[in-house]
Structure 1
Amino acid sequence: MKSPLFTPSTIAGHAVSHRVVMAPMTRARSSQPGDVPTALNARYYAQRASAALIITEASQISPQGKGYSFTPGIYSPAQVAGWRLVTDAVHAEGGKIFVQLWHVGRMSHPDFHHGELPVAPSAVPFQGQIWKVNPSTGLGEMVDSPTPRALSRREIQAIVEDFRTAARNAMEAGFDGVEIHGANGYLVDQFLRTTSNTRTDEYGGTRQNRLRFLRDVVNAVADEVGADRTALRLAPFLTARGMACPDILPTMLEAADFLQAAGIAYLHLVEADWDDAPQFTEAFRQEIRGRFRRPIIVAGHYDLEKANWVLAHGYADFVAFGRPFIANPDLPRRLAENIPLASFDGASLFGGDERGYIDYQRAG
């Protein structure tokens, strides 16, 4: 019997021969100043073009949306030109690629914002750290994020338009579509949860109000580039970063109803991938599949056995692999032929040069 992971399918209108997706992974290797993608990034992604779909590292939609050192943006002409190098290289290898659109919200630091506080739905203290290069040592380190300031209604609408503009820029850069980052405690996720959103206006309080920002962003992006080129990533069981909301699962199920009606390209569900993290329950898989019948991608500590299980049960249509794709640029082939996987160098995960980035070898 053929492995479900290696059966043909279609995603975002593209026929694919297997269901191995490259997950978005921050690698912090854009050129400075300006957070501009380069030929080095193009080579990295092109090496991995055998994925059914590549989802790029998260890319900030505006200077305000930045929260980590050396991450790329998609708001300036130079960034768009840099991303064009990437998409051209991936397409030349026969691959398909979506860019992940990112606003970190409160997961940031004043050093990225001329000393100003990061923004969020509400000015709520929380425990969260971001990766930032120390200007004194030139080395990256994890630093605490401060209590953010609350966004005004006018600022919220401006951010929605920033998402729209970033999606337009993505089309100019040659991407096949965009994935809105609504997971992992970043801005869209912050609006969804009662622990990070204590607003009393139309963007807070009730479930529908907390979903308003997500709906506004998805509608703006889909209006700009088409629903078939619009996708969204969510993290239902996230509890870290002050995100342990008691109402999050019903909220995300209502989001799934909206996303199904909107006709987006796919829904990407990220599962917690650290030790002792909350488990992604089978009951929730069944519930969200019942509401969202378009393609679902899942990600988080998947191996071949678990990937085949989730596909065979119909809970997902594609499986995204993160760190295994770093050290194994030919990951789909290795999984298909049961070739042992190489290990990646954790010390080179964030920042640096070609070492631990483009020097991993394909199987012989």
Structure 2
Amino acid sequence: MAELEDPLEIAGVELPNRLYRAPLLECAGNGPDAVDALIRELTPAAESEVGLICQGATIVRGEGGCAAPGMTRVHDPAFVSKLTRLTDAIHDRGSRIFVQLEHGGLRSMETWHAGYRAENSDLRQLAVSRPPPVLRALDRVGFLSYDAHVLGTAEVYDLAEDFGRSASYAIDAGYDGIHIAGANMGIVQQFLSPFYNRRTDEFGGSLAERTRFLELVHDEIRRRVGPDVPIMTKVPAETTAPRFVRKHLSLSDGVRICDRLTAIGFDALVPVQASVFWDASIVRGAFPACAWRDERFREGYADAFGSKTRAGMVAFLNWFQSKKYDFDSAWNRPFTSRVASRVSVPVLAEGGIRNRDEIDRLLGGGDCDAVGMGRPFYAEPRLPARILGERSEESKRSAICENCNNCTVPQATGARGVCRTPSVLEKRGELRKTGAYGGEQSDG
């Protein structure tokens, strides 16, 4: 039975404990202040002794592919070399850091962000196959905009090489490992999913053939970084896909993908349940009414979605989905438990994990080997100081995050991912006054 404070080894890299900061949008971009912004964002978690920090999705190409404003690109070795300051800062505080590599494909801003499309009118989405009929219908009514470029076979190999190059730049900059963004509707999931992938070459067809791109990415990274660098990935099961989506990844499909990825050499897996769409099933929780009403973001929403009226329509859909995808504690447990019982590599769990008792049950029951939290770090950048260590009152060992999602919706405008909920901020202030986060007072 594992304890949260126990160390964990992933392919030779030892994590000091089994708590990790799950990938989040840092919104640091690539400007002159990008490295400083990442240091401010990530070092509080390291100072409070989190075992691993997974820097959120970074883009492997110089144009296109961003799923949200402000995502950092890691295609340029000159820029990535500057991130040595970040990795040194994390290591100096005793933690480890992996970088998550991503390309959004059909989920990129060139699909949904009206202002970005207007400024980049010649930019096309990369697609695994022609967009599915339901997405083409949304394009016809003007809700989304598709001018997709379907990748040829040679171009698929080129994209895998971009993942490999970016990984090598990151390892040279001191990152401890590579995390592939294999879920959340990015291009890797689009290759895996029968909803998106209707290719007739070596990258489409059976589940094994649809897994081929992720295997190719692994091999390309391994060729460039060597045998001793950990490579992990998220693995999706599209269990929350709407009923009208007949072809999608079942939970059994997700387990079979994990079996294949273990066999080809992935060093850790993060099984997650989601949909085929970018919807509330990814974050779950309450409708973020405060964020939608916030006057500071009204113009940004209108720019992102095309007008204030259209932004209102998106807000309504957000409200509607929140009724279906209310918060569910440890919602990936059925998936991680099945995978953990089958594979020989560490299985990491995230999604709706909020308190120490829950963590102890997951680790003690063999449902996973490490536990990650995401949005709670927006609410408490120094959360590990309260979760790790000697046991205390349960009220002091639960994240104060209210799962309200007021942190996430403004990111469509390019705003930082920070907690904006007054009741949560008040609780954080009270905890700080009592010394719950240790001597450091800055939130990064």
Output the TM-score relative to the length of structure 1.
0.83
- Cα distance, 1:330 vs structure 2: 2.1
My pick for the range that moved more, 248-257 or 62-71, is 248-257
Q: Following TM superposition, by how much is the alpha carbon of 1:15 offset from its aligned partner in structure 2, in angstroms?
A: 3.3
Greater C-alpha Rg: 2
Q: CA deviation at 1:229?
A: 1.8
Separation in 2, partners of 1:249, 1:355: 32
1:268 maps to what in 2? 270
Pair 1:7–1:75, CA change in 2 (3 A): same
CA spacing shift, 1:4–1:273, aligned 2, 3 Å: farther
Paired position in structure 2 for 1:296: 347
For the residues of structure 2 that align with 1:169 and 1:69, how far apart are their CA atoms?
Answer: 23
Partner of 2:305: none
Alignment of 1:178-193 (within 5 A): 178-193=178-193
Kindly indicate which of the two structures has a greater share of residues assigned to strand: 1
Contact 1:109 1:117 (8 Å CA) reproduced: no
Structure 1 vs Structure 2: percent identity of aligned residues?
28
Secondary structure at the aligned position of 1:6 is classed as coil
Cα offset, 1:294, TM superposition: 0.8
**1:161 CA displacement:** 0.5
Report what 1:312 is aligned to: 364
Q: 1:121 aligns with which of 109, 124, 128?
A: 128
For 2:131 and 2:21, the matched residues in 1 are separated by 34
Find the aligned partners of 1:161 and 1:347 in 2 and give their Cα distance.
31
Q: Following superposition of structure 1 onto structure 2, how do residues 275-354 of structure 1 map, counting pairs within 5 Å?
A: 275=285, 276-277=324-325, 284-304=335-355, 305-336=357-388, 337=392, 338=394, 339=396, 341-343=399-401, 346=407, 350=411, 351-352=414-415
After superposition, residues 151-230 of structure 1 pair within 5 angstroms as 151-226=151-226, 228-230=229-231
Is the Cα–Cα contact under 8 Å of residues 185 and 243 in structure 1 kept in the other structure? no
- Cα distance in 1 for partners of 2:53, 2:145 equals 30
Q: Which amino acid aligns with 2:346?
A: P
Distance verdict in 2 for CA 1:216–1:194, change over 3 Å? same
Q: Matched residue of 1:5: which SS?
A: coil
The answer as to whether partners of 2:87 and 2:97 remain within 8 angstroms in 1 is yes
Does residue 43 in structure 1 map to residue 50 in structure 2?
A: no
Q: Distance in 2 between matches of 1:163 and 1:329?
A: 29
The separation in 2 between residues aligned to 1:343 and 1:286, in whole angstroms, is 25
Separation in structure 1 between the aligned mates of residue 241 and residue 27 of structure 2, nearest angstrom:
22
Provide the rounded CA distance (Å) in 2 between the counterparts of 1:51 and 1:127: 40
Contact 1:191–1:210 under 8 Å retained in 2 = yes
Gaps of 5+ in 1: 129-142
User: What SS is found at the alignment partner of 2:232?
Assistant: strand
Read off the aligned partner of 1:333 and give its amino acid letter.
A
Question: How far has the Cα of 1:225 moved from its partner?
Answer: 1.8
Alpha-carbon distance, 1:71 to partner: 0.5
C-alpha spacing 1:301/1:127, structure 2 compared with 1 (3 Å): farther
Q: Judging changes above 3 Å, is the alpha-carbon distance between structure 1 residues 244 and 217 closer, same or farther for their aligned structure 2 residues? A: farther
Decide which of 247, 252, 255 is 2:254's aligned counterpart.
Answer: 252
CA-atom RMSD in angstroms: 3.2
Q: Which amino acid aligns with 1:170?
A: A
Partners of 1:181 and 1:188 within 8 A in 2: yes
Q: Give the conservation status (yes or no) of the 8 Å contact 2:332–2:351.
A: no
1:102-117 correspondence to structure 2 within 5 Å: 102-110=102-110, 111=117, 114-117=121-124
Structure 1 counterpart of 2:100: 100
Deviations 1:280-322 (A, max 9, x none): 5766444322332211111101122332222122120001100
State the alpha-carbon separation in 1 of the partners of residues 410 and 90 from structure 2.
Answer: 21
Structure 1 residue 95, shift from structure 2 partner: 1.4
Which stretch of structure 1 is more off in the superposition, 37-46 or 185-194?
Answer: 37-46
* 2:441 matched residue in structure 1: none
Q: CA 1:307–1:88 in 2, change beyond 3 Å: closer, same or farther?
A: same
In 2, Cα distance between equivalents of 1:355 and 1:207: 38
Distance 1:106 1:243, change over 3 A: farther
Alpha-carbon offset, residue 5 of structure 1: 2.5
Find the aligned partners of 2:131 and 2:340 in 1 and give their Cα distance. 33
* Structure 1 counterpart of 2:295: none
